[in-house]
Structure formats: C-alpha cells, structure tokens
Amino acid sequence: MMQLTIPPRPILLETLEHDMLIDGRRVPALSGKRFETRNPATGELLATIAHGGAEDVDRAVKAARAALAGPWGRMKAVERQRIMLRLADLVEEHFEELAMLDTLDLGAPYSRTIMGKARAGALLRYYAGQATLIAGETLPNGAPGDVLSHTLKEPIGVVAAINPWNGPIGMSVWKAGPVLASGCTLVMKPAEQTPLSALRFGELCLEAGVPDGVVNILTGLGDAGAALSAHPGVDKIAFTGSTGVGEKILHAAAASMKRVTVELGGKSPNIVFADADLDKAVPAAAMAVFANAGQICSAGTRLFVQSAIHDEFMERLAAFTRTIKVGDPLDPTTQMGPVVSAPQMDKILAFIAGANMEGARPLTGGTRMSGAGYDGGYFIEPTIFTHVADDMTIAREEIFGPVLSAFRFETVEEVLARANATEFGLGSGVWTRDLATAHRMARGIRAGSVWVNCYQMLDPGVPFGGYGMSGFGRESGPHHIEDYLETKAVWINLD
Ligand code: NAP
Ligand code: MG
C-alpha cells in the first residue's frame, strides 16, 4: 500500500479570525460576535468564526434572492454545467487542504477525510450532468378545441442547507450540487463544530465562476439555523442532522410553506446469517459502527448474529476491534480519532454507563481513553455490548459514538421483526450467501438503504435517505433534482 503523506497545516489557519461569506464577500457578524472552533484531538483553538444572528440570516437570504434575479438566473444550463465542472476540478485540486481542515475541526483521521476526494468530485460532476437534462414535457390533454399543454421546470428559488458536523466537506458538496444544477441559490449553515471547510468551499465556488450571492456560507449556532428555517425568503430547506432538530425545522417551515427534505438519525440493523462469509462480515461489522468513531447517521449500531455462529463471530469481532488503532488523526496509520466534542463524549459515556446499569455486558472497550496522546482529546474506546435486550436504551436510541449493541437471533422472520422494531429506518446490512434470504430481507427491511454483503455504500447516482423518524426525501440519484424544481403547466389555446 502506498504510504499516505500528511500535508502541511492549511494556510487558512494562519489567520485566527474567519468571517462568513455573503454575496461574494467575507463579512463579520453584524453583532461583531464570534465563536470558537477547536480540534477535538487536542483541545487546541483553531479559529474564531463570525457568529451569525437573525440579522445576518436576513442579509444572506436577501443576497441569495437578489442573485436569482441576476446573471445566474439568466444563465443557460450548459453554462452552469461548465462552472460546476470547473468547481469539481478545483475541489479535487484543493482536497488535501479541505481534508486537513476537516481532520483538524472534526478529529476524523486524515486517512479517512482524504478518501472523500473521489466522492466529492463525482458528486459535483453527476449533478453537473443533470443540469442540462432538466426539461419539461409536452403533454396531451382532453380539452375541447385545439389546446396545447406543456410544462416548464423552474428553479424553486432560495435553498437553505443546514448541515451536521460528521462529514463536513462531503456534506457541503452534496448540498450544493443540486442547487447549482437546478439554478437555485444557496444559504448554507455548517455545524458550529466544523465551519472551516465550508468557508473554503464557498471561496472555491467563487473561484470557479459561481456569481456572487449564489452560494452564501452563514456561520453561526443553532439560533441561526432556526432563523434560517423560519425566514420567509427561503423556498426550500435541505436539512441533515438530528431527528429532534428536524422536527423543529418542519414546524418553522410550515408558516411559509417551504419545501423541506430531512435526512435524520438512525439505529441501523446489521444482520449476519450463519452462511455468511465471515472473513468479510467480521471487519465490515466492526467498521460499520467504528468508522468515523461511530458518528455516521447510517452506522450499523444494532448487530444481529444468527445463533449457530454467534459465539465464534463475537469472539472474532472483539479480536478485530481490539486491533483498531485509535489516536492522533494526523498519524497516517490511525483508524479512529476522537469524537467531535466534550458534550458529545459525555453523552456517549452516559449511554455506556446506562447500558452497564441496565445489565448489558461490555465485551470490549467501554471507557474514555487516557494517557499520552489521549488526555487533551475526546477519545472513547471502540465498545461492544452483548446481552443487550431489545428494549434497553442502547438498543433503541441513536448514540452517535463508537458503541455497538449485539443480539442473537434464530430465524429470518424473527430477525426481520426485531430489525424493524425501531422508529428509525436509514441504513441496514444483510450478510448471507443465500439468494432467497438476501432478497427477502431486502424486501422486508424498512429502511432507505439495504446493503447486502457490504455496508455503507454510497454513490451520486443512487438515492439515499430515510423511512420513519430517519426523515424523508432522497439525496443523490436521478430524481433528487426534482426537489429543487417547480413544475409550471402552460396552456395555449390555439383556436
Ligand atoms: P443537529 O444537532 O441536529 O444539528 C444539525 C444542524 O442544525 C447544525 O448546523 C445545527 O447548528 C443546526 N441547528 C441546531 N438547532 C437548530 C434549530 N432549532 N433550527 C435549525 N437548525 C438548528 O445534528 P448534529 O449533532 O450536528 O449531527 C448529528 C446528527 O445528524 C445525528 O442525529 C445524525 O444521525 C444526523 N445525521 C444524519 C445524516 C443523514 O443523512 N440522515 C447524515 C449525517 C448526520 P449548531 O451546529 O450550531 O448546533
Ligand atoms: Mg471543531
């Protein structure tokens, strides 16, 4: 394997103060307030960020509305496409810097963040391709006389994107893709823990030729997100984050009838049948939950193992998990970094304590890591619980940390019922060599993605999203762009 080289510290971080990006310019918050962003591996202060309030939200939304009426609104799809392809090249060219910003801001190992390069480029190129495919239809009608009817597809207008912190640059690109392809404009609020790569992405948009005001990066805390989701000048909200905040956003959006899509939390089942290829299933089951320190919405956090192989599987899983290298995100061999913040760490440790209280047994892990290299940061051991009952808190609630709950099962019908006994429905995994089992599980599981003999596959061309409390709407795939378009019916009476 090629040795991974860690790039130098991004030049951006030579400046401590970072402003938001509105109408093509970097501006401080009108209040003058700032908030801090820190490196969760060390506690080091990375930057102070403009702390946007409702008045900044208003400025950003007005800039985005004005941009709809400017050169962007008159641009042909082919021109937007050219800009997006240039942006894809720029994002790839600068990806080492973007990945480093995310590694420092989020704590994810550089070996992981740099892997997002191929996906970022592919996403932008996929949506660029869609720009020139947007078209209305000529439709027959039964009206008396000679009457033509056709549809026009128009950009929906100003889109507010509100993002979580667990995959910052990937999320920025994913949100911007359909906005730029459809000719909408964007006010994007990155999470307060990870604002840096979004600001750099906004600059790259300008460099690629995206006109001023089309992509605005509004930095701030939850109240800025709330102001954005209630602003009457916003036509659509694309939210990714927790189910609780998703509910608030639906309420806020109701007053001005905004279109909303919400990609929320999960408690995804990963199901291993006795006939599975265990050499593949063991490491995959571990990384389904320990990748990104468990901070993935579709993480496979409920592991169901068929009785005949349960004990052997759990032994191998524990052995593999103990080999996962946790530590400095800037060490190229690190596989798992810290969790994002002290509050997130405390929340995860409380879930672990609760699991012990409720009678689950830790097979491996279960504590905060301490000692040299760990003390300044928020490191938690990869943790596996066995003897978990289906109604325990760790079996039901999203933890968003490196904690796996393992269960034993006997039959297809039983595991299907237990896998579906959750309010969520985001990801799911099935490990079997039996074609019929694979298809029956794929049909039976209530979740937006079913991964058979793999986990966490994503592609720009394939839809991703949730059932139930995991939200609604699908990002990626051929139909995602529809969420960004209005359909207008035009009737022409020729008589
Ligand atoms: P979060 O607390 O819901 O925050 C998400 C975003 O919403 C942040 O930018 C946050 O701002 C903002 N926000 C907070 N309160 C708000 C309000 N009242 N109105 C509008 N916006 C508000 O989620 P998180 O902790 O960042 O991320 C973890 C969650 O995201 C997990 O539940 C995870 O499952 C989910 N997630 C889902 C997917 C998916 O595709 N389904 C992908 C990734 C993550 P602040 O940062 O300033 O609080
Ligand atoms: Mg940070």
Task: Tell me the pLDDT tens digit for each residue of 325-365.
Answer: 999 999 999 999 999 999 999 999 999 999 999 999 999 99
Closest ligand 1 atom, residue 264 Cα: 41
Local confidence band at 1 (pLDDT 50, 70, 90 cut-offs): low
Over 70: is that where the pLDDT of 45 sits? Answer: yes
299 Cβ closer than 6 Å to some ligand 1 atom: no
Determine the length of the chain. 495
Place of tokens 């099962």: 409
**Paired tokens of 44:** 């080091």
**DSSP sequence for 162-205:** E--SSSHHHHHHHHHHHHHHHT-EEEEE--TT--HHHHHHHHHH
Q: How far apart are CA 224 and CA 220, in angstroms?
A: 6
Q: Ligand 1 pocket check: which of 106, 171, 240 to mutate, most ligand atoms within 8 Å of Cβ?
A: 240
162 Cβ closer than 6 Å to some ligand 1 atom: yes
Nearest CA to ligand 1 atom 38: 297
Q: How far apart are CA 460 and CA 112, in angstroms?
A: 19
398 Cβ closer than 6 Å to some ligand 1 atom: yes
pLDDT at site 2: 64
Cα 482 to Cα 67, 124, 153, 309, 474, distances in angstroms: 21, 17, 9, 45, 10
Local confidence band at 31 (pLDDT 50, 70, 90 cut-offs): very high
Q: How far apart are CA 84 and CA 481, in angstroms?
A: 15
**Paired tokens of 440:** 């029956």
Q: Are 475 and 488 in contact (CB under 8 A)?
A: no
CA of 193 to the centre of ligand 2 (A): 4
Over 60: is that where the pLDDT of 251 sits? Answer: yes
Helix-helix angle 95-106:116-131, to 10 degrees = 120
Nearest CA to ligand 1 atom 19: 226
Closest ligand 1 atom, residue 228 Cα: 20
pLDDT at site 3: 81
Q: What is the mean pLDDT of residues 23-48?
A: 98
Local confidence band at 487 (pLDDT 50, 70, 90 cut-offs): very high
For 289-302, write each residue's pLDDT tens digit.
999 999 999 999 99
Over 60: is that where the pLDDT of 480 sits? Answer: yes
Backbone angles phi, psi at 24, to 5 degrees: 80, 5
All residues at 6 or more sequence positions from 381 whose CB lies less than 8 Å from its CB, including other chains: 326, 364, 365, 366, 367, 368, 369, 402
Helix (H, G, I), strand (E, B) or coil at 3: coil
Q: How far apart are CA 48 and CA 15, in angstroms?
A: 9
The neighbouring-strand residues paired with 492 are: 148
Closest ligand 1 atom, residue 221 Cα: 47
pLDDT at site 273: 98
